[in-house]
Amino acid sequence: MSYRKSTIRDCKIFDLPRIYYREGNLTPIEGAADIPFDIKRTFYIYDIPGGENRGAHAHIECEQFVVCIMGSFDVAVDDGYSRDTIHLNRSYKGLYIPPMIWASEINFSSGSICLVFASDTYKESDYFRDYAKFSAAVKERDL
């Protein structure tokens, strides 16, 4: 199987549109306009105990865009060679995660809500859930 060559440099923070109102602000998000793909699935993670971690997987083809809509958390990204950690704590900023990046959402503050947009519907076959298998696929791809 041929895997996409993504690096942690491809993980980018995007500023989302903000419309200011005296009564409260609004952030509209349109796929392929505000984020770099058409949205096929949306989900959110909530009621996460403070300090807990989520994620810890990579996608083979699916792209994701992660937004912290309440609280704060970090996203640890790993391309099989390099690692970085990105802090999210603003509802108008989102992190683009391309395929073949191992990502973990970590260090959730109490009451955080993590919103995720995905470029594809859920397919278990699109996941690497074992880091050793992910790492081996990256090394094999790069031979």
Domain parsing of the chain, residue ranges: 8-141
pLDDT band at residue 132, thresholds of 50, 70 and 90? very high
The torsion defined by the Cα of 112, 113, 116 and 121, in degrees rounded to 10, comes to 120
Q: How confident is the model at residue 50 (pLDDT cuts 50, 70, 90)?
A: confident
Q: Is 132 helix (H, G, I), strand (E, B) or coil?
A: helix
- Side-chain half-sphere of 88: how many Cα atoms within 13 Å? 32
Q: Beta-carbon neighbour count of residue 32 at 10 Å?
A: 10
The full 3-state SS of 102-131, as one line of letters, equals EEEEECCCCCCEEEEEECCCCCHHHEECCH
pLDDT in tens, 53-106: 999 999 999 999 999 999 999 999 999 999 999 999 999 999 999 999 999 999
Catalytic residue, chosen from 5, 40, 41, 57, is 57
CA distance 48 to 111: 7
| Confidence (pTM) | 0.95
Give the pLDDT score at 76: 98
Residues listed for the chain: 143
Q: Is the pLDDT of residue 1 over 80?
A: no
CA-based R_g, the chain, Å:
15
Identify residue 43 by its one-letter amino acid code: F
For the chain, the first-to-last Cα distance in angstroms comes to: 13
pLDDT in tens, 109-122: 999 999 999 999 99
Active site residue 87: no
Task: Map tokens 């790492």 to a residue.
Answer: 135
* Predicted local distance difference test score (pLDDT) of residue 23: 96
* Three-state secondary-structure class, residue 104: strand
Which CATH number does 8-141 carry?
A: 2.60.120.10
